[in-house]
Amino acid sequence: MDMNVAVVGAGSWGTTVAHLCAHNVPTLLYSRREDVAEAINERHENPRYLEGYQLHPDLRASTDLAAVVGQADVLVMGVPSAGFRQTLVDIRPDLRPWVPVVSLSKGLELGTRKRMTQIAEEELPGHPVGVLTGPNLAKEILAGNAAAAVVAFTDHTIAERLQEVFSSSLFRVYMNTDVVGCEIAGALKNVIALAAGMADGLETGDNTRAAVMTRGLAELTRLGVAMGGRPETFAGLAGMGDLLATCISPQSRNRYVGEQLGRGRSLDEIIEEMNQVAEGVKSAKIVLELAEEFGVEMPIASEMRAVVTEGRSAMRAYRGLVQRPATHENAPD
């Protein structure tokens, strides 16, 4: 394909997506760290985030943001939600018109409660924006295990073209035009993953964890549909698929934070030792604000907000959920 891809953000997932793209098109990865860019270029690895995993030999990295963005026919944003807007502002002078922007971030902006594609539309007007999302654990993909994802754009033609860019023989990419649903599912599942991790930390058993995931899916579906997403999106890869992977995998940062909270550790202590972002911690408060705005009951998310913002213990949070009266399964909790 006659196309150049720029990936901004050399964390574990940004690097992995750049690795996938490099199989199909010339790909340049932006890293803020000189040592990371050097390791990718010279040894084809990212030891800071993906130690022991080999990257595609054609993948190149640079610390020059303007140079990376200036040659892009497709811009992929692998930046956490907290720095997403400012990075777009920094990119704007060097990005050519009409270049599609793909967000990898599964978070919401503090203060505005906006999705990443909404921020991209504000900061980069005229650029088509969409997301790549799904049950995708970086190390499993780099290990050569099969996986699937969704690329979502309202423009089907763009989604179809980008499907070819991201796909490989073991990474199957489906198309979707429900950008809102795909994006909301990715942000909300991180909050539910905190609860699933707590179940592990409290050693409550698989029955409890299954109940949390199932009722969590119901919660995020209700809010997502209220915000304009399509119900079937939440039953697919962007919804249920991503939720399951994030809730059960030892590689999941959000599940890990929940597990450690369940074992009695403080949130500050857990976050301090991590070198990557657990988006669910920041999203919990925003999700409840959205739920209140759209009139949606979200008891699991409510307890998670209390844990991460008010210091409520994991045990107290679970007792609060258990003590809620049961209603019809298909009715709001």
The residues annotated as belonging to the active site are 189
CA 123 to the chain's CA centroid:
20
Q: Are 64 and 91 in contact (CB under 8 A)?
A: no
Q: CA 242 to CA 152: how far, in whole Å?
A: 15
Buried b (16+ CB within 10 A) or exposed e, 167-202: bbeebebbebebbbbbbbbbbbbbbbbbbbbbbbbb
Q: CA 8 to CA 13: how far, in whole Å?
A: 11
Strands 129-133 and 27-30: unpaired
Q: Where do we find the tokens 């990257």?
A: 55
Task: Catalogue the long-range contacts made by 32-41 (C-beta closer than 8 Å, 24 or more residues apart).
Answer: 32/63, 33/63, 34/63, 36/10, 36/61, 37/10, 37/61, 37/62, 37/63, 40/10, 40/15
Q: Are 5 and 101 in contact (CB under 8 A)?
A: no
Of 148, 168, 290, the C-alpha closest to 224 is 290
Q: By three-state DSSP, how is residue 132 classified?
A: strand
Q: How far is CA 220 from CA 24, 224, 237, 291, 309, in A?
A: 34, 6, 14, 10, 20
Q: Are 29 and 68 in contact (CB under 8 A)?
A: yes
